Amino acid sequence: IKSKYYVSHVEYPRKRFPGYCSGTGYVTSINVVKQVIEVSRNIPFFHLEDVYIAFCLDHLNFTLQNIEGFNTVYDEDEHADLCELKSNSVLVVHNFKKRPSFIKEIWNKHCDI
C-alpha cells in the first residue's frame, strides 16, 4: 500500500493509536520538550511523527489538551474569508494542497482585526 499514513499490524499491533496532537504545531514548555527528547531514546522509531510524539508523551504519563484554533486542514473552497485566517481564533493551519500560493494571499490580505 502506497500511503504515508499506512501502518501495518507488524509496525503497530493495536487497533488504535493513543491520543495524539496534529503535527501542525505543539504548545508546551521547554521542560516537556526536554523530557520528550530524553524518553525518545528508549521509544522505537515510528514514521508518523505526531503519533511518535504521542508514544513519548504516553510513556511520560502526560495528557493532551485541545486548543481551539489548531486546524489540520483548511478547505479553500469552503472558506472564502481570508480575514478569518488572520483573526485571533486561528493559530495554526496547514495542508493548502490546491493552491500553495494561498498562504501568500492570506499574508498579504489587509484585515481590520
C-beta of residue 53 within 8 angstroms of C-beta of residue 32: no
* Each residue's pLDDT tens digit, 31-72: 999 999 999 999 999 999 989 999 999 999 998 887 777 766
Which pTM value belongs to this model?
A: 0.69
**Per-residue pLDDT tens digits for 72-102:** 666 666 666 777 777 767 767 766 666 677 7
Grid coordinates representing 45 are 522509531
Reported as type and span, the H/E element at residue 92 is strand 92-93
Alpha carbon dihedral 17, 20, 23, 26, in 10-degree steps, equals: -160
**Cα 35 from chain centroid (whole Å):** 19
pLDDT for the residue numbered 101: 78
- Confidence grade of residue 7 (pLDDT, cut at 50, 70, 90): very high
